[in-house]
């Protein structure tokens, strides 16, 4: 998929096939994440890749909007050291993972982490140090639907683009 086309066809996938993801592909996702923009090159991120079905089930119980994590092949927890721009940096890394997953034909869905009531419980479950902030949980798996990567309806460009002023 071409780079700009990739941006148009990425979408949230919540229904996954019952098959694993190769460890090398999971490493590729993290490798792409580490090249995300980062304020002052702090690179505050750490990534926990979860493939254990019991831990995936526990994560899905904690995240009320992420119940589908239990059926995912993997979940990446994106943590950042509590720094001035941890949220921006962690969101950039999350976006890189989402786009890289699409390029590899892997479905993904971003589940919020920052400031959620379950964030501390995720830290405990995954043995993350207390000073690490959970930015996101990313459910991963091969989509159940054959044609999952298709463009969805979006607002037209002329409805949201403003030149010089709002």
Q: Give the CA-trace dihedral at 7, 37, 135, 25, to 10 degrees.
A: 60
pLDDT at 1 over 60: no
Q: Is residue 149 part of a domain?
A: yes
Give per-residue pLDDT as tens, 118-149.
Answer: 999 999 999 999 999 999 999 999 999 877 77
Q: Which of 22, 144, 139, 17 is nearest to 70 (CA)?
A: 139
Q: Is residue 37 part of a domain?
A: yes
Give per-residue pLDDT as tens, 51-79.
Answer: 999 999 999 999 999 999 999 999 999 99
Q: Is residue 165 part of a domain?
A: no
Report the CATH number at residue 34.
3.40.109.10
pLDDT at 151 over 80: no
Give per-residue pLDDT as tens, 105-117.
Answer: 999 999 999 999 9
Q: Is residue 75 part of a domain?
A: yes
> Number of folded domains in the chain?
1
Per-residue burial over 112-124, b = 16 or more CB atoms within 10 Å of its CB, e = otherwise: ebeebebbebbbe
Q: Is residue 15 part of a domain?
A: yes
pLDDT score of 147:
75
Q: Is residue 73 part of a domain?
A: yes
Helices (H), the chain: 3-9, 23-33, 53-62, 86-103, 119-125, 157-160
pLDDT score of 48:
98
Q: Is residue 166 part of a domain?
A: no
Q: Give the CA-trace dihedral at 70, 74, 59, 86, to 10 degrees.
A: -150
pLDDT score of 154:
86
> Which residues span the domain enclosing 156?
3-160
């Amino acid at each position: 998929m071409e780079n700009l086309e990739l941006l148009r066809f990425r979408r949230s996938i919540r229904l996954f096939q019952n098959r694993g993801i190769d460890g090398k592909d999971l490493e590729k996702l993290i490798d792409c994440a580490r090249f995300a923009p980062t304020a002052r090159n702090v690179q505050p991120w750490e990534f926990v890749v979860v493939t254990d079905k019991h831990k995936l089930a526990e994560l899905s119980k904690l995240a009320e909007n992420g119940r589908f994590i239990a059926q995912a092949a993997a979940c990446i927890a994106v943590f950042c050291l509590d720094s001035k721009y941890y949220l921006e940096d962690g969101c950039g890394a999350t976006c890189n993972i989402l786009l890289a997953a699409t390029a590899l034909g892997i479905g993904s869905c971003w589940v919020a982490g920052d400031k959620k009531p379950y964030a501390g419980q995720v830290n405990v479950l995954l043995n993350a140090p207390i000073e690490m902030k959970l930015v996101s949980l990313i459910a991963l798996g091969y989509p159940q639907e054959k044609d999952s990567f298709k463009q969805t309806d979006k607002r037209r460009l002329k409805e949201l683009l403003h030149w010089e002023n709002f």
